[in-house]
Amino acid sequence: MKTLFVVRHAKSDWSTLNQSDKERVLNPRGIRDAPIVAAHVAELQTTPQLLISSTATRAASTAAYFIDALHLSPIRVVRSDAVYEASVKGLMEIVNSIDKEVTCAMLVGHNPGVTDLVRYLAEESFAHMPTCGVAVITFKHASSWQEIGRGTGQLEAFLYPKKISS
């Protein structure tokens, strides 16, 4: 069985003029929410062995909170430009390329890609992945990541800051 945590970066700051989209940082709400959600994920039964993050500043910063909460070794973290602005097809190429020995992975990226990925994998119809949202998808019949595709996953949990704090 394989498990994939799909994470949308925490809330970012739009206030800095002349800053590229890729350089946007987390805003105060994002800085507040990310460690709370990461700590909640760390309490779950399953811990990712591999974290793949977009290289965009807001995604890498969000990933850092999860890395810390999950006590992931730096050798278990991959930063990839391919995640930034990726479509479902691009994200699936990343997921399908994960080493077979990894049973649980986390992908930290951006909308609309992460929402579309969850819909594609679990055939779920939720409206969208909120900032700092986490979808936990299991693939009960997959022995390798290459076997994962449309509708092969089961959405086990869907967490986001407002749900955790309520």
> Domains in the chain: how many in total?
1
- Note down the domain range covering 110: 2-165
Contacts of 32 (CB under 8 A, 6+ apart): none
Give the tens place of pLDDT for each residue, 24-62: 999 999 999 999 999 999 999 889 999 999 999 999 999
CATH number of 19's domain = 3.40.50.1240
Q: State the chain's mean pLDDT as an integer.
A: 94
Query: What is the number of other CB atoms lying within 10 angstroms of the CB of residue 146?
Result: 12
The pTM score is 0.95
CA 148 – CA 20 distance, rounded (Å):
34
Instruction: State pLDDT tens for residues 80-120.
Output: 999 999 999 999 999 999 999 999 999 999 999 999 999 99
